[in-house]
Structure 1
Amino acid sequence: MSLNRKNKPEEISQIKFNLPQPEKFTLENGLKVIFIEKNNLPIVVALMIINSGSKYDPENKYGLANLTALTIDEGADGISALELSDQFDMLGSDFSISTDNDLINITLQSLSENFEKSFELFSKVIIRPDFNVTDFEREQKKIITRILQRKDKLDFLANQIFEKILFSADNDYAFPIIGYEETVSKLTNDDVKKFYSDFFFPENSALIIAGNIKLTELNKILKKYLTKWANKGAARSIKNSFVNTDKRIFVYHKRDSVQTEIRAGHLTEPRNNNNYLPRLLLNTVLGGQFTSRINLNLRERNGYTYGATSKFQYYKEAAFFEVSTSVGIENTANAVKEIISELNLIKDGVKNSELDFAKSFLTKRFPLSFETYRQLVSGIAGRILYNLPSDYYSTFVNKLNLVDINEVNKAATEFIKNDRLTIVLAGDKEKIIPQIKDLGIEFSEVDLYGNVIS
């Protein structure tokens, strides 16, 4: 049987997507728990989110949250790091810890039959970490090595410098999660212990669980292993001031670089339920997918890059808009011109065909965000972080399709601020500066920390 590929398959029906309603309850120690029973696979995933991301690093102790997260599983309740790893492996369980700007995330994936034994180990890491000096020093050295390696990664440096300049030193979102070499090297094991004591407590955390387990059984396990977790903590507030800047270029010199990493953007309003979807659709048209305007211009039409994207980056208490790409260094100024041109053109409005495609793109890929149990608990964590309504994901597709072109065009006018662009160019200044002199934009040279040096 042959297929006639000239005929486009007909769309059978509209996308329908509904998440199971979660069970929500609070343990006696104040820990919030969200549970979704899923019986498709014999697996349970648990995610503990702790409100202790890098934005809480004390001044000149940048990297402390990350180091705490990496040290916490290096031995717990007298069990060494190697023994913990072996026990998780024997149970067929996967355990991981990560840090972002807002949260420390501790994840466990286990077979249902081994969930209780795995969760016991999981709870020991959270409640009774050993924090041995030897383990601390080993993790500290590993992070410093990673920082040194990243000094050769121009994309990482461009991101680091861009966010530092964008937020300024008066904002705790300005600093890299991993920290700087000189700040991490000065951290002590006592710093880690204090950070843990201040932030790792039940009322500062939430536990999200999805998988093949009954609520009654889960309750027994939680009460058995988490009731003794009764820390009170002393979480602090953060510096979150904002300074709107004029359009300016900042050049970071990387000798003999054959490429330029470009970051261009500005601060914007934090995530807001009233305008999030228009901004999402706007960005999808502008630079949020392969056939977006910016990528078609820089990659397809001009051949400057393999890819160019834009995004609204949202943190819990801050946000920024950013265009990013990497181009051959000889095309630096031309690429900047085209980026600014596209940012100007988007203010003239999007086409109905572009908006229809953006809606189709977003709605059809939306269910893919919840394919796995890990994605499911991660999605719920996002709902908690941004204080989204309980029906947010179930109503997402319908609400997205109700956004009209006027709302998207209004978002372009309000949230693309071309007169406030911070543009970071990371590459060989000897090849970049002669090009950008004719752009009519003031420029400065900066160091690794975003400080102006000339």
Structure 2
Amino acid sequence: MLILKKEDVVSQTLAISKSIIKTNDSTYWIRYLEQLENITSNDIMRVANTYLVKEKRTIAKLLPTMKSSGIATSMANDSNDEIGSTPYFQKPNSFYPVYKSHLIDRHLTLLDSSKIVSKLLPNGMKLVFYRLDKSPSVSIRMSMNAGANHDPFGKEGLSYLTTKLLHTSCLSDYSSVKWLDQNGILLNIDSNFDTVIGKLNCLKDDFLDSFKFFIKALRYPSFNHEDFLEMKRSILTQMEKQSNNPEALMLDKLYNFLYPNNHIYRRQPEGSVSSLMNLEYSDIVNFHRDFFKPEGAIIVIVGDINEGIIDNLTTSYFNDWFGGNEQPSLPRVKTELRFTDHVEFNSELTDISFNWLTVGKNHPDYLGLDILAVLLGKKDSLYGGRLYKNLREKQGLSYSQHVNYPTAGFQVPWTINISVNPSSVKKGIKSVQEEVSKLKEDLIPSEELDTVKSYLMGRRLIMLNSESIATTLEECVRYGLGFNYINKYPDLLYTISPQILRNIACRYLNDQYSIITIGPKLNSE
């Protein structure tokens, strides 16, 4: 597992820097594995008895927050700040550095397209193989048309529960768990609206056994009734927790408005409490039998493996596997999102969500909308963005702020989410509206746009490991982008000008949007 985690340049850079800081030896992280293998059970007992003792124990207790006026308000008052501003202990000191960006070569070749092998197998499955020379790891990624869009009405959550049980069945016996753990093999099976996606990462030497285990796990799961009942209870517990998650509540409210009653995306993949209670053990067995089929599925293998080995494996393990299902047709969604709504929620903060209906990844305007999302501050992005700088640093207004723009092949909401003090809701709404208006009225400065482009391009370059390549190739097939999209990406990115982005902002970030607030009762003033 440690070797897998050191495959990309970012992980290697972190390992080297930590080695220097801790030991003043840049090669320590390489020798660490050898030292790890030499550790015995006696060493572990010695360390535990030396350090994990009562005399060296520290216990911390989390005390309740003040409820009368809210901790945010009281902290703001203590620090002589305006009510609703960021508490003094949260104010950052320019966390994101300012630097002069430079554009990476737009003609850079990300992948050698001559190494991409794509085949349609006799059973209707699409095989994609990429020979990644000298890679220590191999990544397998497989997607099947068995997502939540095949759940019968009244039994929503069937695909999700089946997938969770499928993953559990892989770990049902001790020998499998021990084998996966000892060899550092990373396995995950998950589902979404459209597909079930299985992923496995292993070392090159373990590829043959890992491939066999992976396919056997997907085709012949060892379901049992006890695991079924336990997993249902676990998901119901998660749902109870989600009922106290403001962002989940806002998303549910939005999707109920956006999609008609008979639209699959109106339903959450996890289902509901009532739909889960309707599920029987036989539903799981039948769903797996009927929908976990190869026709229309995509399997991608990336690693330093001979193509002949791949051909032999697919022939051996897929020649008796047939059948499949088409993706169901989708009703049209609303083209207008203009509405406002408030959900009363017992919380110290008020969450505000702004939502525009936009396009999926297979649309030419997707990349421009993605640039705008990063520019403002996309969720899970390391680029700070305008929302952070203007709403948090300059105004001390928001406690969290991000844009959510998911990767999908259908129309999806482009969403801005912020959290503010309840007394600052109107100010928060006005500030976000001003930021969006700037995108539609002003041209983005060239230096700022170059920084965003360099960030997006840099992320592509530093994440060129077997797993990310497998993900990219699978998405190229699933969304119909074509494999040439990978090497066209730099050129597509750099040809998007400030004028094009302003046009895209005017086209999609228009007046047809929703505002949903969740928090304490709004002030009527």
Q: TM bucket by the smaller chain?
A: 0.7 to 0.9
Aligned to 1:292: 385
Amino acid at match of 2:138: V
Larger radius of gyration: 2
Helix, strand or coil for the counterpart of 1:388? coil
Contact map agreement 2:104 2:457 (CA 8 A) in 1? no
Q: Distance in 1 between matches of 2:271 and 2:473?
A: 28
The yes-or-no answer on 1:129 pairing with 2:221 is yes
Helix, strand or coil for the counterpart of 1:317? coil
CA RMSD between the two structures: 2.5
Alignment of 1:429-440 (within 5 A): 430=521, 433-434=522-523, 437=524
Q: Distance in 2 between matches of 1:317 and 1:376?
A: 23
| CA positional deviation for 1:205 | 0.7
Alignment of 1:16-165 (within 5 A): 16-21=108-113, 22-75=116-169, 80-165=172-257
Q: Distance in 2 between matches of 1:345 and 1:201?
A: 49
Amino acid at match of 1:271: K
Amino acid at match of 2:268: P
Instruction: Select 1:251's aligned residue among 342, 364, 370.
Output: 342
Instruction: Select 1:176's aligned residue among 268, 293, 310.
Output: 268
Q: Distance in 1 between matches of 2:488 and 2:454?
A: 16
Q: Distance in 1 between matches of 2:455 and 2:200?
A: 32
Aligned residue pairs, count = 420
Helix, strand or coil for the counterpart of 2:331? coil
Amino acid at match of 2:515: I
Contact map agreement 1:24 1:32 (CA 8 A) in 2? yes
Contact map agreement 2:377 2:386 (CA 8 A) in 1? yes
| CA positional deviation for 1:193 | 2.5
Helix, strand or coil for the counterpart of 2:432? helix
Q: Distance in 1 between matches of 2:176 and 2:344?
A: 44
Aligned to 2:439: 346
Instruction: Select 2:487's aligned residue among 394, 398, 415.
Output: 394
Contact map agreement 1:298 1:307 (CA 8 A) in 2? no
Identity in percent: 22
Question: Residue 105 and residue 10 in structure 1: after superposition, are their counterparts in 2 closer, same or farther (change >3 A)?
Answer: closer
Aligned to 2:312: 220
Question: Residue 366 and residue 345 in structure 1: after superposition, are their counterparts in 2 closer, same or farther (change >3 A)?
Answer: same
| CA positional deviation for 1:323 | 0.7
Instruction: Select 1:363's aligned residue among 457, 466, 490.
Output: 457
Contact map agreement 2:443 2:499 (CA 8 A) in 1? no
Alignment of 1:203-352 (within 5 A): 203-230=295-322, 232-235=323-326, 237-245=328-336, 247-255=338-346, 257-288=347-378, 290-352=383-445
| CA positional deviation for 1:152 | 2.4
| CA positional deviation for 1:352 | 3.0
Q: Distance in 2 between matches of 1:365 and 1:314?
A: 16
Q: Distance in 2 between matches of 1:378 and 1:142?
A: 29
1:175-230 residue CA offsets vs partner (Å, 9 max, x unmatched): 22222222122212222223223321111211001112111112212222222222
Q: Distance in 2 between matches of 1:10 and 1:416?
A: 27
| CA positional deviation for 1:397 | 0.8
Q: Distance in 2 between matches of 1:356 and 1:80?
A: 50
**Farther-moved stretch of structure 1 (164-173 vs 9-18):** 9-18
Q: Distance in 1 between matches of 2:297 and 2:249?
A: 32
TM norm structure 1: 0.85
Q: Distance in 2 between matches of 1:262 and 1:393?
A: 36
Q: Distance in 2 between matches of 1:271 and 1:121?
A: 32
Amino acid at match of 1:253: E
| CA positional deviation for 1:82 | 4.5
**Farther-moved stretch of structure 1 (398-407 vs 388-397):** 398-407
Amino acid at match of 1:199: F
Amino acid at match of 1:322: T
Aligned to 2:468: 375
Q: Distance in 1 between matches of 2:187 and 2:394?
A: 45
Q: Distance in 1 between matches of 2:476 and 2:337?
A: 34
Q: Distance in 1 between matches of 2:244 and 2:506?
A: 38
Q: Distance in 2 between matches of 1:182 and 1:316?
A: 29
**Farther-moved stretch of structure 1 (79-88 vs 180-189):** 79-88
| CA positional deviation for 1:24 | 0.9
Contact map agreement 2:376 2:385 (CA 8 A) in 1? yes
Question: Residue 82 and residue 233 in structure 1: after superposition, are their counterparts in 2 closer, same or farther (change >3 A)?
Answer: farther
Contact map agreement 2:156 2:272 (CA 8 A) in 1? yes
Amino acid at match of 1:222: T
Question: Residue 287 and residue 9 in structure 1: after superposition, are their counterparts in 2 closer, same or farther (change >3 A)?
Answer: closer
| CA positional deviation for 1:9 | 8.9
Structure 1 residue runs without a partner (length 5+): 1-7, 439-454
Amino acid at match of 2:140: A
| CA positional deviation for 1:12 | 10
Question: Residue 209 and residue 329 in structure 1: after superposition, are their counterparts in 2 closer, same or farther (change >3 A)?
Answer: same
TM norm structure 2: 0.74
Question: Residue 120 and residue 269 in structure 1: after superposition, are their counterparts in 2 closer, same or farther (change >3 A)?
Answer: closer
| CA positional deviation for 1:393 | 1.2
Helix, strand or coil for the counterpart of 2:200? strand
Contact map agreement 2:359 2:365 (CA 8 A) in 1? no
Contact map agreement 1:347 1:413 (CA 8 A) in 2? yes
Contact map agreement 1:172 1:238 (CA 8 A) in 2? no
| CA positional deviation for 1:20 | 2.8
Aligned to 1:444: none
| CA positional deviation for 1:426 | 1.5
Helix, strand or coil for the counterpart of 2:169? coil
Aligned to 2:510: 417
Aligned to 2:498: 405
Q: Distance in 1 between matches of 2:315 and 2:279?
A: 35
Aligned to 2:9: none
